Structure 1
């Protein structure tokens, strides 16, 4: 398994020089991979070349070529021309380097040292989702932090991750066959959460539960980046699911997701505060005219009784 710390140590050995090509070092734990620098603050990852490549992709912060003839320089002064896949990250802000390298490490593990034809292209296509400027952010840092907290404490992490923002029912944070779980996180001193009316109405063929979390934002708290790293560690032997963690983070916060990873919240308070209750018990409006849709409201859940025997996804959350 390749780590961000290992890649950072490699990067620190490289100084970008003027001229065509890239200055690189071999990645010790991943045969066939090289990492280094290009002009400016750009970081480059060279992968095994794809023998069945898709077309190159160019975005604002990242460019991808599954197979390209490249000229590279090693730190010992030797030069090499060869066919590699190329990932070029145009950082601009070097303080985010370690965050980017955690993604790069995941990409290396997803591709593997002996990729099948097309596999490099598939990994690069998934990488595009992390930097695609088109999708609108669909959530908040606080909400995402709470979802990661829940994910990291469940008894079946694979099942929980596979249900996270799944296509089964995108109204809920976690959705699986016969079960829905919505995570609500607040920094208020009372257990007040914002719901959409659809989230607390019965779902045919499924039970819906709410995981209510209370915490405090603090500089001394557990950062979002730490929560992401904790989730990565849960899937250390499963690079595909690790990549899924990054994809949900990027889809939730948008293309500038990496700017938010330093925000931190009190994890101990949050962990001790988790309460699971039925969505049907959430205080809500009872009558809505048929001409009205998209109803959202704030509900005080302080007096909602916890579920005695949580079912489905809610039963996976250790409380």
Structure 2
């Protein structure tokens, strides 16, 4: 059973009614945990924790509630009924998009936990879940085109897991990908030429740093085999990942970046073929720039636009040495 099937089965539980703490539920893969719906039609995870004593307090947030040691009866689709204590995690929202995200992300979290996690282990994942859903009520941190471009770099790479590990956890970071002294900054444009805006700091890294600029032409498209959304790129990347933790990190950064624009995850599409064909990488030292030493000390927030169309893509030459760089070797 995949996540989409679980979500579809959850929808069929929406019309169920409960009495005396009795709930109709569906199974989650081969786990002991279950998924049900409240009388308000909110999704509820019933988590079978172990009996290790731990005084973890309940968590009540605007959208999420977590209640430990709640005794209830669950009725499975097979007709089997179980009376026991569960930790119950509820998303208090009728928004179907949010419900789907909640089910998907927490199902992934459950996959990496022990079969019967302790309350302490569960509470750690709950805090991550709270952080994600807090981000979904915030304003977007980046334009959707910029996020799509960064995901394309990951999707086209040789080793997406390395890039996900290096991806910024804060969208306002100076560089999009950082691994030790090696950095990648992604720039996108919808114009015919590679005209990009840079901050003074971006093209003046520390002396021992190595920096590549990824340049991509990104244009909106209708949805088809080659018109892909952020969701489409996410799915493609996840199909190449073996590590659940990397999938969760990928989803978390997307959520933090889109904020309350999360519904655009599958609503806005861009031309995948043009973007892939135009993806190029440039050594920052070859890009015309303003040096920090040339800027008066009382001037700050310097930004400038540079046309790099006629510069040489380093992937077409052997002059760029990336042999000892895990980050750059993950690209091409």
Q: Sort the TM-score into its range (normalised by shorter chain).
A: 0.7 to 0.9
1:275-314 maps to which residues of 2 (within 5 A)? 275-286=280-291, 287-307=294-314, 308=317, 309=320, 311=322, 312=325, 313-314=327-328
Distance 1:22 1:228 in 2: 37
State the Cα deviation string for residues 226-268 of structure 1 (Å, max 9, x = none).
Answer: 1122222222x322121111121122222x2522202211111
Counterpart residue number, 1:231: 237
Q: Using a 3 Å threshold, how does the CA distance of structure 1 residues 166 and 251 change in structure 2: closer, same or farther? A: closer
TM-score (norm 2): 0.83
TM-score (norm 1): 0.87
1:98 Cα shift?
A: 3.6
Counterpart residue number, 2:75: 74
Distance 1:257 1:28 in 2: 29
1:247 to 2:265 alignment = no
Distance 2:56 2:191 in 1: 49
Verify the 8 A CA contact 2:145 2:218 in the aligned structure 1. Answer: no
1:157 aligned to which of 150, 156, 160: 160
Verify the 8 A CA contact 2:211 2:283 in the aligned structure 1. Answer: yes
Higher Rg of the two aligned structures: 2
Verify the 8 A CA contact 2:181 2:208 in the aligned structure 1. Answer: yes
Distance 2:59 2:289 in 1: 47
Verify the 8 A CA contact 2:24 2:75 in the aligned structure 1. Answer: yes
1:116 Cα shift?
A: 4.8
Question: How many residues are matched?
Answer: 313
| Comparing 302-311 and 240-249, the one that deviates more | 302-311
1:100-139 maps to which residues of 2 (within 5 A)? 100-116=102-118, 118-133=120-135, 137-139=140-142
Verify the 8 A CA contact 1:68 1:83 in the aligned structure 2. Answer: yes
1:1-80 maps to which residues of 2 (within 5 A)? 3-14=2-13, 15-17=15-17, 19=19, 21=21, 23-49=23-49, 51=52, 52=54, 54-65=56-67, 67-74=68-75, 80=82
1:10 Cα shift?
A: 2.6
1:207 Cα shift?
A: 0.3
Verify the 8 A CA contact 2:91 2:99 in the aligned structure 1. Answer: no
Gap regions ≥5 residues in structure 1: none
1:34 Cα shift?
A: 0.6
Gap regions ≥5 residues in structure 2: none
Q: CA RMSD in A?
A: 2.7
1:53 Cα shift?
A: 5.9
